[in-house]
Structure 1
Amino acid sequence: MSETQRQFSLVAGEASGDLLAGLMLDGLQARWPTMKAAGIGGPQMLSRGFESWWPQEKLAVRGYVEVLRHYAEIAGIRRQLKARLLRESPDIFIGVDAPDFNLDLEAGLRSRGIRTAHFVCPSIWAWRPERVEKLRAAADHVLCIFPFEPELLAKHGVAASYVGHPLANVIPMVPDQAAARVALGIDGDATVVALLPGSRRSEVRHIASRFFAAAALMMKAQPSLQFIAPVLPNLRADVEQALEAAGMTGRVTLLDGRSHAALAACDVTLIASGTATLEAALFKRPMVISYHMNSLTWNLVMRHKQLQPWVGLPNILSGEFVVPEVLQDAATPQALADATLEWLAAPDKVHALQQRFCALHAELLRDTPTLCADAIQKVLEG
C-alpha cells in the first residue's frame, strides 16, 4: 500500500473525543490526502468523511454501575469491531480517549501485529495509576494533550509525544462575547449563566436536576438573570424532564449543542466536571465545577482512587483551587447557587482568574493537527 492510500481506524467514544479526533483527522488528511478512516465516531469525524460503523452514543456511558448496565452491548460491539479490524488490517488503530473501551481493544490488536496509538493519556496522574501498565501493553505511541505527560510516561517505558491541547486551537484567545450573544439572540447587557450538566445521559440524569434547581434559587435571588443550557439532541427529552421537575420550563433557553457559543456568551458557568471545564477555562469564564454520580460508584471507586485534591481540569493544571468544586453530597442546589452567585459579585476576582486562564491557554496552544500527523508517521515508519 502506498503512502497516499493509508487506511486508518479510530474509535472516539463521546463528544469530547469526537472533537479531538476531528482535529487529528485534519492533520492526517493533510499528510495523506487519499486516506480512508473508519471505526466509531461522531459528527465532527463524520463531517471529515469518516465512516462510523456504530453510533458513537453507544459508547457514551460513564461510571462503573452505569457501564455494568450496558456491558453486554458494549462488549459485543468491541468483539465485533476487533474481528473486523483483524480482517481488514488497517495501517494503524487509534483509540481516542475512552480508555475503558479502547485500551483492551488496542492491546488485542497490537498482539496480532496491528500498530496502535492512543490519543489522550489516561489520567494516571490524577487517579487509577495502575492504568499505565495497560497503556504500555496497548499503545505503540501515546499522543498527550498536557505538556507534563510525556516525561511521566517515559519513566514507565511508554513512548509519547506532546501535541498540545486541540481545544486551545479551536477556542480564540480573546472570545467575542458580544458576537456570541448576537448569534444566540441574547441581550448584550444581560447577566447570563450557562448551565452545562454533561454530555452523557447518565450525567444528565444525576446532575441536571441539581443544576436547574440551583438556577431556580439564583433566579429568585436575582430575577434578571438569564440562563442558557447547550443540549445534545439525543438528550433533549431528559433535559426537558429535569427542567419541568425544577419548575424551570421556559426559563432556561435550551441550545441545540453550541456549547462553545454558550461559554462565549455567558458571564459565569455552572458546569459538570470533565473536558468542558477546560473549555470554560479557555473561554476565560469563571465557573463552579460540580459532579454527582451513582453513590455506589462514588463511594467504592472514585473516593479511594483519587490521587489529587482536585477533579476539575482548571484546578489540576493550576495546581490549586482557582475555581470552586462542589461535588457529590455537597452538591446541593443551594450550595451550587451560592457559589455561582459569588462570582457575579466579585469582578476583581474574575479578572485575576481570566489572567490565569490566558497563561494556561498559551501553554496548551500548539499546531495539534500537524503534531498528531508527525507522531502517527513515526509509528508507521517505526
Structure 2
Amino acid sequence: MPNQPIRIGIVAGEASGDILAAGMLSHIRQAYPDAIIEGIAGPKMLEQGCKSLFDMEELSVMGLVEVLSRIRRLLHIRKTVLNHFLSNPPDVFIGVDAPDFNLPLEKKLKANGIKTVHYVSPTVWAWRENRIYGIAEATNLVLSVLPFEKRVYDKHGFPCQFVGHTMADDVPLEPDRNEAREHLGIPQEAEVVAVLPGSRGTELKMLLPPFLDTIRQLRKESPERVFVIPAANETRYKQIDEALRTSGIKEQVMLVLGQSRQAMIASNVVLLASGTATLEAMLCKRPMVVAYRLNWLTHQMMKKLYKAKFFALPNLLADREIVPELLQEDVSSEVMVPLLNKLLSGEQKQDIACFHSIHLQLKCHADKQAADSVLNLIHE
C-alpha cells in the first residue's frame, strides 16, 4: 500500500448496523489509526472517527410501502453519496445491511472499479433467492452473520465469509441478572418485563399501542410488576415518552435511554419487535414473545414472497419454533398477555439450552474477522 492513509466508505442504515460497523471499524483502526472513514454513520461509528454525510436516522425505514413514501429523499441521499465516492474513491466501500439502499450503490461503485463489501447478507434464504445474482454483481464479498447464509452463496459459487455476530462475543454466556438490576436500580426480588417496541419510527407506530395495552393489562393483574422500556435513541425516547403520557401509564413504566441489553438481562421475560433485538434477547438467555406488524399492503406482498417457516431469528437459527412469534392481528394484548403470563409463572418454558448452543455457534470474534476480511480485500 502507498504511504497515504487507506480510505473506507461505509453506510449503515439503522442501530443494529451501527453496532456491527463500529466493532469492525475499531479493529481496522488498530491496524490503520489514520484511516479515513466516511459515509453514513450512527453514533457508535462516529465514535470510531467516521465522518457522516447524512443522519443515519433518515435511512431507518422498514417496509415496501413505507420506503415508497420516502423514496425521493432516499434517492437524493443515495445519489449524493454515490457522487461523493466517485469523486473521492475509497479503497473499499462497505454497505452494512440496508440492502435496498446499499446494493444499488455498491453496484455502481463496483462498476467504477471500487471494491465493495456487503455486511449482513440480504435474506435470500427467505425470499427471492435469485437476488443472489444481483448481490454478486454488486459486491466483491458478502460478510454473513448467520451460519446457514453462507451455504446459499457456496451453492452458487459467490464469495461469502461467515464471521459470526459481534453481540455473541460481547454478551456473556451466563449473564448476571443481579448486576443488571443493580445497574438499573431495580429491586432484586421484582418480577420484571422488558418491552422493546423497535428502533424505527414505523415500528413504534405499529407496535407501541398494543405493547402499552399489554403493559396496562399485566400491571392491572399484578401491580408490583416492573416494566422497563429501553429507547433505542433520543428520537425514540421522545416518541415513547409522549405515548406513555397520552396513555396515562407513564408513572408505571421505567423508560431508559439505550441500555437495552441491561434491560433484557434484568428481566424475567421480554416482549419485543422482531429483528436483531430478538437475537440479543436470546444471547441474554431470556424467555421472549416476538411480535411484528407491517403495513397491510406490505404484508400482502410479503405473504406471496416470503418462503421461510419463521421470521423470528431464534426460530430461524434453531430451525424450529422455540419462541412464540406473532404477526399482524395476533399482535394484541388478548394474545400477548396470556403468553407472557405463562412464561412469568413458569407454566411454559423456553429452550434456554438451545439459546446457549446457538450463542456458541455465533461466538466467532466477528469484529476482527470482518475487519480482516475487509483489509485482505483491500490488499488483493
- Distance in 1 between the 2:217 and 2:360 partners? 36
3-state secondary structure, aligned to 1:117 = strand
Q: Which residue of 2 aligns with 1:281?
A: 282
Partner of 2:367: 369
Helix, strand or coil at the partner of 1:5: coil
Whether the 8 Å CA contact 1:17–1:97 is kept in 2: the answer is yes
- Give the Cα–Cα distance (whole angstroms) in 1 for the partners of residues 343 and 2 of structure 2: 56
Of stretches 209-218 and 30-39 in structure 1, the one that deviates more from structure 2 is 30-39
Report the TM-score, using the length of structure 1 for normalisation: 0.96
- One-letter amino acid of the counterpart of residue 36, structure 1: I
User: How much does 1:30 deviate?
Assistant: 2.1
Deviations 1:50-90 (A, max 9, x none): 11111110100111111111111111000000000000000
CA 129–3 in structure 1, closer or farther in 2 if over 3 Å, else same: farther
Q: 1 CA distance for matches of 2:77 and 2:242?
A: 30
Q: Distance in 2 between matches of 1:238 and 1:348?
A: 33
Q: CA deviation at 1:197?
A: 0.4
Deviations 1:176-214 (A, max 9, x none): 111111111111110000000000000001101110101
Distance in structure 2 (CA, Å) of the matches to 1:378 and 1:3: 17
Separation of aligned partners in 2, 1:88 and 1:320:
47
**How far off its partner does 1:46 sit?**
0.7
| Deviation for aligned residue 1:347 | 6.7
Specify the code of the residue in structure 1 equivalent to 2:361: E
Q: Does 1:186 align with 2:186?
A: yes
Secondary structure at 1:25 match in 2:
helix
Over 4 Å off, 4+ runs = none
Q: What do the CA deviations read for 1:201-238 (whole angstroms, capped 9, x no partner)?
A: 00001101110101111112222211000112112232
Using the TM superposition, give the Cα deviation of residue 265 of structure 1 relative to its aligned residue in structure 2, in angstroms.
0.8
Distance 1:173 1:3, change over 3 A: farther
Residue 153, structure 1, aligned to residue 153, structure 2: yes
Instruction: Label 1:4 to 1:364 Cα distance change in 2 as closer, same or farther (>3 A).
Output: farther
Residue 319 of structure 1 aligns with which residue? 319
In the superposition, relative to structure 1, how do residues 217 and 34 fare at CA in structure 2: closer, same or farther (>3 Å)?
same
Specify the code of the residue in structure 2 equivalent to 1:241: E
Question: 1:371 Cα shift?
Answer: 1.0
8 Å contact from structure 2 (residues 192, 267) kept in 1: yes
**Secondary structure of 2:337 counterpart:** helix
Match of 1:203 in 2: 203
For the 8 Å contact 1:195–1:270, the answer to whether it is kept is yes
Where does 1:76-91 land on structure 2 (aligned, <5 Å)? 76-91=76-91
Counterpart Cα distance in 1 of 2:262 and 2:176: 9
Matched with 1:99 is 99
Please state how far the C-alpha of 1:358 moved relative to its aligned partner. Answer: 0.9
Shift of 1:245: 4.3
Q: Does 1:238 align with 2:239?
A: yes
Give 1:31 shift: 2.4
1:341 and 1:129 mapped to 2: Cα distance?
A: 39
Distance 2:170 2:36 in 1: 24
**Worse overlay, 78-87 or 141-150:** 141-150
Q: Which amino acid aligns with 1:171?
A: V
1:23, 1:134 → 2: CA distance?
Answer: 27
**2-side partners of 1:161 and 1:48: how far apart?**
24
User: More displaced, 304-313 or 265-274?
Assistant: 304-313
What code does the residue aligned with 2:377 have?
A: V
| 3-state DSSP of counterpart to 1:250 | helix
Q: In angstroms, what is the RMSD of aligned CA positions?
A: 1.4
Give the secondary structure class of the aligned counterpart of 1:363: helix
- Contact 1:209-1:245 at 8 Å conserved across structures: no
C-alpha contact 1:4 1:32 (8 A) present in aligned 2: no
Matches within 5 A, 1:249-264: 249-264=250-265
Q: Is the 8 A contact 1:181 1:188 kept in 2?
A: yes
User: Is the counterpart of residue 125 in structure 1 residue 120 in structure 2?
Assistant: no
Match for 1:210: what amino acid?
A: P
- Report which stretch shifted further, 331-340 or 267-276: 331-340
Amino acid at match of 2:356: C
Deviates more, 1:104-113 or 1:120-129: 120-129
Please give the alpha-carbon distance, in whole angstroms, between the structure 1 residues aligned to 2:25 and 2:3.
Answer: 16
What is the CA–CA distance in structure 2 between the aligned matches of 1:307 and 1:339, rounded to whole Å?
26
Q: Secondary structure at the match of 2:250?
A: coil
**1:3 CA displacement:** 6.5
**Counterpart for residue 142 of structure 1:** 142
Contact 2:153–2:160 under 8 Å retained in 1: yes
- Distance in 2 (alpha carbons) for counterparts of 1:130 and 1:345: 45
Question: Contact conserved, 1:217 with 1:334, CA < 8 A, in 2?
Answer: no
**Distance in 2 between residues matched to 1:309 and 1:244, nearest whole Å:** 38
- Taking structure 2 as the reference length, what is the TM-score of the superposition? 0.96
Q: Give the Cα separation in 2 of the matches to 1:196 and 1:99.
A: 24
* Percent identity of paired positions between Structure 1 and Structure 2: 38
